[in-house]
Structure 1
Amino acid sequence: MKAGRYYGPGDIRVENIPEPVLTSDQVKILTVCGSDLHAYLTESPGYGSVEPHPITQETFPVTLGHEFSGTIVETGPGVDTTKWATGTNVIMKGSCDTCSQGYRNLCPHIGFIGITGWGGGLSEYIAVNVRYLHTLPQGISLEIGACVEPLAVAYHAVKRSGFTEDKTALVVGAGPIGLFVVKVLRSLYPTSTILVSEPATIRREFALKHGATQVFDPTNIIIPEAIRSIVAPGVDVAFDAAGIQASMDASLFSLRARGTYVNLAIWEKTATLNVNLILVREINFTGIVGYDRVHEEVLSLIASGKIKGLDELITKRISLDDVVEEGFKKLLSEKDKHGQYTYMFFDNLSLSAGLTVKILVHPGSRSPNL
């Protein structure tokens, strides 16, 4: 079968490898997967290793793809086929079940299927133990299923922030995760003020369509000043989904006293933190990594119609054959063109109307029909 294999930063190859052979309690899944730019750019956190991973014991190369859904096509020994029958649509929970102090996402040896080993969704098939699966409720497509993993990240961040209906929010960066944060906030708190900072025109438009109260272009205005013109003391919660020095600074200076900064981004560079600002304003500074057993809640919100319109955030569909050129390199090109901006001190940027928001990969077909 074909698989997208990660050999290191900037080195992802579509190769032919053997189909997985099922062991006890496993099922074979025909996959639909989202692409992940972080794996293309960096070795952290945990995208394969030259040393065996403590849990999977795998080294480079590993098959990528942790944001996937799929259909069960074969069941292994010991599987309860009344629950996990062939033809059942499923999603992956995302991580192994090794945990630390009860918080599975904070395990010091954290592992994700599709990042640290055991196969991944960027392949035609994957063998997965059923303990790591959820069935997709009736009416939820595989495309939407492939969006549940990043949506769970956004949902976990909103829960951890302590956000309530009477609070105000700033979301910095309206890529897929930032847009999912907007979607979760608006779905759960319909009357709240949700402000978004994003340099790309099409992503600002997406943010407005999916629940933002107002959007700002950080290349044209000073974000903290713009925020305080609407919310005089500053926002209650700032969600940083961009992960650069400028986004963190803009977030912190936009917060009210005792506000909360939540980092969702994987940083590619180190940052300088204004600790005195946190001190004198008593700012709560925190981050989230992944999620912790929230998939059932997220699926329930989608199935009930509380969270809807996720398919509108999928702007491109490609085959596995094209995942490097039309997936990773396309995202990287647009990131370099649109993603590296500076708040308050800036140059004008030329933005493309066709900017990608979310790419789905269909490994099993060159002409995907999802």
Structure 2
Amino acid sequence: MKAARSYGPGDIRVEQIEEPVAGEGQVKVKIAWNGICGSDVHAFLTTVPKYLQGTTPDPLSGESLPVTLGHEFSGTIVSVGPGVDGQKWTVGQNIVVEPMISCMKSACPACSIGSRNLCPLNNFIGVGGWGGGLAEYIAVYTQYIHPLPNNVPLDVGACVEPLAVAWHAVKRSGFTKGQSALVLGAGPIGLFLLKVLQSFDRTALIIVSEPTVLRRQSATKQGATHVIDPKGSNVSERVMELTAGIGVDVAFDAAGVQVSIDAAIESVKIRGTVVNLASWEKLPVIDIHQLLLKEIYLTGTAAYDRVHPELLEALEAGKITGIEQLITRRVALEDVVEKGFLALLNDKDNQVKILIHP
């Protein structure tokens, strides 16, 4: 079968590899769509944690380069391996993969309480091995899959993994109906934050800050109350104008640059909450005096923690809509480098979510 495999930064090759067979406790899935993640793009440029390097095997998967990439994907079960519950998992069933893997040892402080996202060894299918979504098929253990509701199409299903990142962040923030929010950065995660916030409160004041025109337009189209161009306005001053000098209840930093975390801290109200979702290439300087004088809660979120079922229920119930409008390009696997990775690097201002179809 065809698969896009990483040989290290800057070296992704679409090549023929052996087609997998469903083993004990596994199902074989024909992959429909796979989204390219911002982390994938970073790993294409340079060394990124969790992405394999050289000949050192991943401690969980046991694999080393080359590995098949892709961790945001959906597909259809085409065969069921031995030991699989045939009543729950059937041929022809559409599924999404929750790709996080962890050590699952009782001595692990994170895994022992179920918070696999905080396991120090955690990794992802399609990052650290075990196949990936940038291939025609994958054999995956049933503990990592969820049924895709019948009314949710497979392309939207490929967006469930990053949507789960946003859902987890909103839950961790404590955001509730009647509160206000600021989202800094309207890339895929920022726009998914907007959609999740709306699912919690359709009438909430949600302000989005984004420097690129297409992504500001997307935020407006998706129902943001106000959209700010940080290159033309002082974000925190504008937020204070829009909130009668009070500030927002919660600010989400999905940009990961110094000016965004500064704006987040400056824009929240007294005892407001700042949530960082972004990965940082250079660690920021945090204004501790602002945290002290406003008693701000500052936290971060790592991927997701047992949120996929409730997120899928929200999608099925129609609480989250318009996700397909954020898919700006659909690309064949053969063109994944040129029209996928390089498009996100060289034409970022005109792309939101790119999906690959094996």
**TM-score when scaled to structure 1?**
0.90
Q: Which AA in structure 2 matches 1:356?
A: Q
Q: Which AA in structure 2 matches 1:12?
A: I
Match of 1:151 in 2: 163
1:233 Cα deviation from its structure 2 partner: 1.7
Match of 2:299 in 1: 286
CA distance in 1, matches of 2:252, 2:213: 20
Q: Secondary structure at the match of 2:242?
A: coil
Q: Is the CA contact (8 Å cut-off) linking 2:28 and 2:80 kept in structure 1?
A: yes
Match of 1:87 in 2: 92
Choose the corresponding residue for 1:60, options 41, 48, 65: 65
How many residue pairs get matched?
A: 345
CA distance in 1, matches of 2:202, 2:151: 24
Q: Which AA in structure 2 matches 1:327?
A: G
Q: Is the CA contact (8 Å cut-off) linking 2:41 and 2:344 kept in structure 1?
A: no
Choose the corresponding residue for 2:352, options 349, 354, 357: 357
**1:2-40 residue CA offsets vs partner (Å, 9 max, x unmatched):** 111122222222121111132101111111211123223
Q: Is the CA contact (8 Å cut-off) linking 1:100 and 1:106 kept in structure 2?
A: no
Residues 1:14 and 1:37: Cα distance change in structure 2 (over 3 Å)? farther
Q: Which AA in structure 1 matches 2:48?
A: S
Residue 114 (structure 2) pairs with residue 102 (structure 1): yes
**1:323-364 residue CA offsets vs partner (Å, 9 max, x unmatched):** 1111111101134xx5xxxxxxxxxxxxxxxx111111001x
Choose the corresponding residue for 1:246, options 259, 262, 266: 259
For residues 285-324 of structure 1, the aligned pairs below 5 Å read 285-324=298-337
**More divergent stretch after superposition (192-201 vs 260-269):** 260-269
Q: Secondary structure at the match of 2:124?
A: coil
**1:148-184 residue CA offsets vs partner (Å, 9 max, x unmatched):** 1111111110000000122110000011110010011
CA distance in 2, matches of 1:163, 1:117: 35
For residues 1-370 of structure 1, the aligned pairs below 5 Å read 1-31=1-31, 32-42=33-43, 43-50=47-54, 51-96=56-101, 98=104, 99-231=111-243, 232-335=245-348, 338=349, 355-363=350-358
CA distance in 1, matches of 2:202, 2:21: 47
Q: Is the CA contact (8 Å cut-off) linking 1:11 and 1:40 kept in structure 2?
A: no
Q: Secondary structure at the match of 1:8?
A: coil
1:100 Cα deviation from its structure 2 partner: 4.8
**More divergent stretch after superposition (128-137 vs 97-106):** 97-106
Q: Is the CA contact (8 Å cut-off) linking 2:2 and 2:136 kept in structure 1?
A: yes
Q: Is the CA contact (8 Å cut-off) linking 2:149 and 2:316 kept in structure 1?
A: yes
Q: Secondary structure at the match of 1:181?
A: helix
CA distance in 1, matches of 2:286, 2:221: 33
Q: Is the CA contact (8 Å cut-off) linking 1:10 and 1:40 kept in structure 2?
A: no
Q: Is the CA contact (8 Å cut-off) linking 2:28 and 2:139 kept in structure 1?
A: yes
Q: Is the CA contact (8 Å cut-off) linking 2:253 and 2:274 kept in structure 1?
A: yes
CA distance in 2, matches of 1:156, 1:312: 22
Q: Secondary structure at the match of 2:334?
A: helix
Unaligned 5+ segments in structure 2 are 105-110
Q: Is the CA contact (8 Å cut-off) linking 1:26 and 1:127 kept in structure 2?
A: yes
1:211 Cα deviation from its structure 2 partner: 2.4
**TM-score when scaled to structure 2?**
0.93
CA distance in 2, matches of 1:268, 1:319: 30
Match of 1:342 in 2: none
CA distance in 2, matches of 1:125, 1:316: 22
CA distance in 2, matches of 1:144, 1:113: 19
Q: Secondary structure at the match of 1:268?
A: coil
RMSD, matched Cα: 1.4
CA distance in 1, matches of 2:137, 2:326: 25
Q: Is the CA contact (8 Å cut-off) linking 1:100 and 1:107 kept in structure 2?
A: no
